Amino acid sequence: MKYRTLFLLLALAGCGANSDGILPGYVEADFVRVAASYGGRLVELSVVKGSEVELDAKLFALDQDNEIAARDEAAAKFAQSEAQARDLSKGGRPDEIAAVVAQVDAARAALKLAENDLARQQSLAAAKFISPAGLDAQSEKVRSGKAQLAEAEAQLRVAHLAARNDQRAAAAAASQAAQAALAQSAWLLAQKQVTAPVAARVDDTLFRVGEWVPAGSPVVSLLPPGNIKLRFYVPQARLPEVRQGDIVKVSCDGCGAPRDARVAFIASQAEFTPPVIYSKENRAKLVFLVEAYPLDPQGLRPGQPVDVRIGAVQ
């Protein structure tokens, strides 16, 4: 690149402002170099140099065995946490509830039997056939039966309830954490399968299948049509003739009729051509870098020399 720039600067120094007002320049490009966020072995390269790709087209893939295993583990843990949360939101299982109902029925039957015995004992006590102590013992059996029935009925109510609020909140939080871990593992897996961020031409592929690709290292270099630009240098004396947004005329060998390009950038600092120590004597050798984007980039290739005419179209 620096040699190409130096060549153009020397050309400007040799010929100065051409008699026809044409300035030499060349085609440049802003490449989109696509990389993966994480390193890995390249297992698939889906494009070849010179091919055209659409937006989101698959470019390459790195080995994913570890990420797939991590994703599957996270999915299993999420399913487990969801099941636990659902279980805590329910009451007891039907068989568990049936067992408690049976305990209630048994306690109720035992109480009824004790109450019947107490009634008989009271009749006998009134006829002086049993002692007061025997009546007190039977009364105690009734009180004990009532307590056992109350306990069984409480257990039945608990069997129909879900877990305590704190337990259910903890289970819900665990489920959310497992879901976040699953999303993270799915994202990591997606980083190993890289697609085209723009529709473009594949300018180069930088790795071969089987090679190790460090994290962040470009694997595919793309050139979108809109990233073709022209670079040329305007002598200081002619700088007032060009402004940002102006249309300039561009021609090149084999390009047919001159085409239009819009000026996008004008350097704020001058350069010397060739590089020399500044003095009043060489002020005429000052040039300013200008970049313009062709309205029709079809057929233009990076490195191609062009002729630029400024002030031709306003």
24-50 pLDDT, tens per residue?
999 999 999 999 999 999 999 999 999
Which are the contacts of 71, defined by CB distance < 8 A and separation ≥ 6? 182, 185, 186, 188, 189
Q: Is the pLDDT of residue 219 over 50?
A: yes
Mean of all residue pLDDT scores within the chain: 81
Q: How much is the pLDDT for 129?
A: 65
Helix, strand, coil % in the chain, rounded to nearest 5 = 45, 25, 30
Assess whether pLDDT exceeds 70 at residue 128. no
CA pair distance 116, 132, nearest whole angstrom: 17
- Residue 269, CA atoms < 13 Å, CB-side half-sphere: 1
Residues in CB range of 79: below 8 A, 6 or more apart: none
**What pLDDT does 123 receive?**
73
What is the Cβ-side half-sphere exposure of residue 139, based on CA atoms within 13 angstroms? 8
Domains in the chain with CATH codes: 2-29+225-313 (2.40.30.170), 35-63+194-223 (2.40.50.100), 91-161 (1.10.287)
pLDDT value at position 150? 78
Rounded distance between C-alpha atoms, residue 170 and residue 96, angstroms: 24
pLDDT in tens, 79-95: 888 887 777 666 656 66
| Residue 11, C-beta contacts closer than 8 angstroms, at least 6 positions apart | 24
pLDDT in tens, 130-149: 666 666 677 777 788 777 87
CB 202 within 8 A of CB 25: no
Q: Which pTM does this prediction carry?
A: 0.61
